[in-house]
């Protein structure tokens, strides 16, 4: 650990998964990347080729693991697998169609609010807090690639940008396999 100034963070949501392509919520379910998702992950690697990366922190779910491995192909970068970077647990909404959840109000009721989660699942607050806690541990000035999931990364990035938890539900989703750079200390809630 370097301890030299502000940490440079590169946040990447995993490449397109079979759940993304199928339009359903995967949460903690371990789903694979599609061939398009694999190519997106390789494209991330090409986009990041000129940036220093001292380590990679990655969710323990396969779609994020595969994205990190493909993005870092040909580079010697230590990869640290962290369960705290997992997507939210979707509870009863696991495998529910995203269009159906929007149409019947479950998205508005369970997925967008900060403190409310689906029955048997996690709130956005719980998922983002666990991710922030682990990022604080690694916040030591080392340029860091973080490969995770849309729901958690949307919350983390919004807080980096000074957007309050009550406004997170109105933000657009984080795109698959598009690097987002931030520099500085991990925000506190």
Domains (ranges, CATH) in the chain? Answer: 8-183 (3.40.50.1240)
Task: For the chain, give the number of residues.
Answer: 189
Is residue 14 among the annotated active site residues?
Answer: yes
Three-class SS of residue 61? coil
Task: Name the active-site residue from 14, 16, 29, 149.
Answer: 14
Q: How far is CA 49 from its chain centroid?
A: 21
Parallel, antiparallel, or unpaired for β 8-13 and 55-58? unpaired
Categorize the per-residue pLDDT at 44 as very low, low, confident or very high, splitting at 50, 70 and 90: very high
Q: Which of 16, 29, 87, 122 is catalytic?
A: 87
For the chain, what percent of residues have pLDDT higher than 70? 98
29 carries an active-site annotation: no
Q: Name the residue with higher pLDDT: 17 or 170.
A: 17
């Amino acid at each position: 650990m370097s301890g030299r100034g502000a940490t440079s963070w590169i946040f990447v949501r995993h490449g397109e998964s079979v759940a993304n392509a199928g339009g359903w919520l995967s949460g903690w379910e371990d789903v694979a990347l599609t061939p398009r998702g694999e190519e997106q992950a390789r494209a991330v690697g090409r986009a990041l080729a000129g940036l220093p990366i001292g380590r990679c922190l990655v969710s323990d779910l396969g779609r994020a693991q595969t994205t990190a491995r493909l993005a870092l192909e040909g580079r010697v970068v230590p990869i640290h697998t962290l369960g705290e970077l997992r997507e939210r647990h979707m509870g009863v909404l696991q495998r529910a169609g995203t269009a159906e959840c929007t149409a019947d109000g479950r998205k508005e009721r369970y997925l967008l609010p900060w403190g409310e989660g689906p029955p048997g699942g996690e709130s956005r607050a719980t998922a983002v807090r666990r991710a922030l806690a682990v990022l604080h541990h690694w916040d030591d000035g080392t340029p860091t690639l973080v490969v995770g999931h849309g729901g958690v990364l949307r919350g983390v990035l919004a807080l980096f940008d000074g957007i309050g938890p009550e406004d997170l539900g109105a933000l657009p989703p984080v795109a698959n396999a598009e690097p987002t750079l931030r520099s500085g200390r991990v925000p506190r809630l």
